[in-house]
C-alpha cells in the first residue's frame, strides 16, 4: 500500500481507496493504521445500510469489535462465516454483497468448502452479489474452482486476477484473484482501468500480469 500512497497519478476509484486509507492516518507523516475490509466498508456505508461480520477466531473477532465499536450499523459474530450464510441468507434487504475472505492454509480443501456454501446460497439468494477472494499459488488448484463456478447455476460470474509471479509455485503467494457473482453493471470496465495500474505499481519483475474473464455471462 505504500507504493499506492506514493503514486502521483491513479485511476479515480483507486484514488478513492488511497484517500480512505489516508483518512485514518490524518496528521501523521507515516502509515500507522491500515484498514481491513470491514473498516473500509464502515467509511462508505450509508446510515441505513447494515453489515454483518463473521470471524471464527476469537482474537480476530475481538479486534473487529474494537475497530467497529459504537457503530450500530454492524452486527459482529464470532462464528463460522459459511454457517452464517446458511442462516442469514436471504437478507431482509433486497440488495447486498457477500464477501468471502477465507483462510487458505489448505487451499484445495477451502475451495470445496466455498463451493458447498455457494451452492446453498444459489438456492437461497440467486440474485445476491458474491465476491470470493482467493490466492493464486498453483494454477491447477484454481482451475477446478473456475470449472465449478461455470456450472454453479448463477447467471453472471466475472473473474479478475493480478499476479506478480508465475503461478507455478506452491511455496509462495504469486497473486490473487476475485470471482464476482452477479457483478454490478459496467464493473468490468472499472476493473479494466484498475488492474493495469495496479500491475504497474505493484510489479516486482517482468512476470506480472492481470486477467479479466467472464466465466458466465447471460
> What is the DSSP track for 54-89?
E-SSHHHHHHHHHHTTT-TTEEEE-S-HHHHHHHHP
Bridge partners of 179? 132, 159
List of residues 6+ apart from 25 with CB closer than 8 A = 31, 32, 33
Given the residues 49, 80, 101, 120, select the one marked as catalytic. Answer: 101
101 included as an active-site residue: yes
- Alpha-carbon gap, residue 26 to 35, rounded angstroms: 13
**Residues labelled as active-site residues:** 101
Amino acid at each position: 500500500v505504500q507504493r499506492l500512497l506514493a503514486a502521483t497519478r491513479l485511476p479515480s476509484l483507486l484514488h478513492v481507496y488511497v484517500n480512505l486509507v489516508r483518512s485514518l492516518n490524518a496528521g501523521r507523516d507515516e502509515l500507522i493504521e491500515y484498514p481491513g475490509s470491514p473498516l473500509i466498508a464502515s467509511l462508505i456505508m450509508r446510515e441505513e445500510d447494515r453489515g454483518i461480520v463473521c470471524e471464527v477466531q476469537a482474537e480476530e473477532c475481538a479486534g473487529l469489535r474494537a475497530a467497529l465499536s459504537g457503530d450500530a450499523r454492524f452486527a459482529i459474530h464470532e462464528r463460522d462465516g459459511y454457517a452464517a450464510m446458511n442462516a442469514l441468507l436471504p437478507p431482509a434487504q433486497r440488495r447486498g454483497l457477500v464477501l468471502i475472505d477465507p483462510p487458505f492454509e489448505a487451499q484445495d480443501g477451502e475451495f470445496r468448502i466455498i463451493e458447498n456454501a455457494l451452492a446453498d446460497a444459489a438456492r437461497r439468494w440467486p440474485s445476491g452479489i458474491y465476491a470470493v477472494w482467493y490466492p493464486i499459488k498453483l494454477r491447477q488448484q484454481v482451475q477446478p474452482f473456475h470449472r465449478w463456478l461455470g456450472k454453479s447455476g448463477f447467471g453472471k460470474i466475472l473473474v479478475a486476477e493480478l499476479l506478480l509471479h508465475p503461478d507455478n509455485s506452491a511455496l509462495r503467494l504469486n497473486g490473487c484473484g476475485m470471482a464476482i457473482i452477479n457483478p454490478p453493471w459496467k464493473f468490468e470496465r472499472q476493473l479494466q482501468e484498475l488492474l493495469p495500474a495496479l500491475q504497474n505499481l505493484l510489479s516486482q519483475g517482468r512476470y506480472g500480469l492481470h486477467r479479466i474473464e467472464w466465466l458466465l455471462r447471460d
